[in-house]
Chains A and B, each alone.
Chain A
Amino acid sequence: MREFNAIITIAYRDFTKFLRDKPRLLISFVFPLLFIGILGKTFDANLSSTAGFNFLAFIFTGVLAQVLFQSTASGVISLIEDRENDFSQAVFVAPVSRYSIILGKILGESLVSLAQAIGIVVFGLILGVPLTLGTLLALIPAAIIACFLGGAFGIFVLANLGTQRRANQIFPLVIFPQFFLAGAINPIHNLPPILFFLSRITPLTYAVDLVRNVYYAGTPEYAKTVLYGTVTNLLVITLFFSIFLALGTYFFVRNERNK
């Protein structure tokens, strides 16, 4: 019961902190808006007719999955910096299991990402991305799964980095290739062998594909936009999630006190 209490407390704190931090709130919307607003609209105007599907919706779904994944991952990585600052110092001397701290952090950062996703969806609606209420509701579980995968990925990266400085240097290197390899904004149905291989070992690929599975379910565009079925995506995501979480937690707990 105490551990459950602690997980909720840690998650609540993360979420509240985000809501109170006005500049961060604003900045978190800028990046996706640029991609969907500018890139999406440009591609849509020039490529949609050739591609045979709505490019705006394609980029919208890709960026949505990508933001959920990346934002949760980078939020979890901030645990390195937190350890030497603010309330988190107190969290680490509280009688709370390290596993609860990690779970609470993943949960909290997932909530933060989902709050950002609401902003993205509203913007998508304004731009004219076709979205029904049914699709929106169906997207919620897929969105949560994308967050959790990002959170587990974050712990995995975090466990292998010593300092926030190094994390800030490395993080773009592990996130940007994924952004392109996962086909968040670019179709990856046809790829040269090396890129094909790289794209299929990229965790984000499956989060993006899962979101598109939900979005394009039952539409004629499904075959052109989606790579694998929902079940395959879920299986691969579960595999990645388990490996990242297990190894990440193990190394994090081990390295945390051994300096």
Chain B
Amino acid sequence: MPRVIEVKNLVKRYRKADTNAVDDISFSVNAGEFFALLGPNGAGKTTTISILTTTLAKTSGIVTIAGRDIDRGASAVRKNIGVIFQQPSLDLNLTAEENVRLHANLYGLYPFRPWYGLMPEQYKKRVHELANVLGITDALFDPIKTFSGGMRRKLEIIRSLMHRPAILFLDEPTTGLDPVSRKNLWEYLQQMRSQERTTIFLTTHYLDEAENADRICIIDHGKIISLGTPAETKKGLIAEYLLIDAKDRKALRSELTHLGLAFTAADLFQVSLGNKTAYQIVKELRTPLTVLKIHNPTLEEAYLEMIQKEIRE
């Protein structure tokens, strides 16, 4: 599959800063992929996305978007990308249609016309199609002010898809949305994605949003700490183990040693699973157990553990 985003040794140090906001990261994204950049606040997500969308100059490294270098081919890169910003980017005093029309004009899709009525039929058809999907046909000519937060977000997505970009960048798109709007937005985005076959580059600090991605890249303090499919990420992040104890601790200890299991003994015995299942291990033990627990965190818990560990270090 062709690579639409390639990042090599990307570094960004802001002026007057002592440390790198983005510290030598490399990754690539394939065409049609849903790629999630995950990390806590201040990890370098927005910095990365700003560089990739040509609004911020990098310090060093090579970035290619849709086959074009982001510095030398900035204009060509811009033609090929759509961006949903962290901050809303609609004009509240303009109508939904005007917001979409100005965007289309800016991208040179249709020549500028001051009124909707003067726009070509092709444009009208496309706008109505998209408005239909959103269910805002009636409100198309109302000022955005009257729209809910979730509705506005959807309109931004519609707008960014007008020029059929190869890659859609979404910078924490669900910030400030209530859970229902968040869920709706995701359903809509998945639908759009299957229709338009757009590559999606998402930044988020919500793990559950990243779980639907093809690949998850976790960054913190400007460095990549994990990169892989959700399953791989889960495997890498999550340490599964048994917590057990017995009245006769001495017997248990010698038995564990005898079975060749890796363990640490504190208040409880923590036994690594290795390539066995918890059930297999328990079945092998003869010493009567007083405590038996399986530590199997969710991805969310594992992610939090990892981020907290990072912070402590």
Contact = CB atoms under 8 A, between A and B. Distances in A.
B166 to A, nearest CB: 13
Interface in B38-83: 53-57, 75-76, 78-79, 81, 83
B63 to A, nearest CB: 13
B308 interface: no
B94 A20 contact: yes
Interface stretch (A5-13, A55-63, A170-178): A5-13
Nearest to B91: A87
Contacts of A84: 87
Contacts of A12: 102, 112, 114
Contact of B14 (A8, A85, A97, A259): A259
B91 A93 contact: no
A96 B87 contact: no
A90 B15 contact: no
Interface in B173-211: none
A95 B111 contact: no
Interface in B94-108: 94, 98-99, 102-103, 105-108
A86 B89 contact: yes
Interface in A51-109: 84-97
B78 A93 contact: yes
B114 A20 contact: no
A85 to B, nearest CB: 6
Contacts of B123: none
A94 B78 contact: yes
A12 B104 CA distance: 14
Contacts of A257: 54-57
Contacts of A95: 75-76, 78-79, 107-108
Nearest to A254: B57
B91 A6 contact: no
Contacts of B102: 9, 12-13, 87
Among B53, B88, B112, the most chain A Cβ lie within 10 Å of the Cβ of B112
B302 to A, nearest CB: 34
A5 B99 contact: no
B85 interface: yes
Given A20-B143, A85-B87, A259-B15, A93 B53 contact: yes
A93 B167 CA distance: 13
A50 interface: no
B83 A17 contact: no
A16 B94 contact: yes
B234 to A, nearest CB: 34
Contacts of A86: 88-92
Nearest to A90: B89
Contacts of B99: 87
Contacts of B15: 258-259
Contacts of B92: 86
B19 interface: no
A192 B143 CA distance: 55
A16 B56 CA distance: 29
B144 to A, nearest CB: 10
A14 to B, nearest CB: 10
Nearest to A19: B93
Given A9-B102, A90-B89, A259 B56 contact: yes
A173 B15 CA distance: 27
B153 to A, nearest CB: 14
Contacts of A8: 105, 112
A90 B81 CA distance: 11
A89 B55 CA distance: 9
A73 B66 CA distance: 38
A115 to B, nearest CB: 15
Given A259-B14, A259-B15, 14 more contacts: A1-B108, A5-B106, A5-B111, A8-B105, A9-B102, A10-B106, A17-B91, A85-B89, A91-B106, A93-B53, A93-B78, A95-B78, A95-B108, A257-B54
6 closest Cβ pairs, A-B complex: A2-B108, A20-B93, A95-B78, A9-B105, A257-B57, A89-B89
18 contacts: A5-B105, A6-B106, A6-B108, A10-B106, A12-B102, A13-B91, A13-B102, A16-B93, A17-B93, A20-B93, A87-B89, A87-B94, A90-B83, A90-B159, A91-B106, A95-B78, A95-B107, A259-B57
Interface of A: 1-2, 5-6, 8-10, 12-13, 16-17, 20-21, 84-97, 257-259
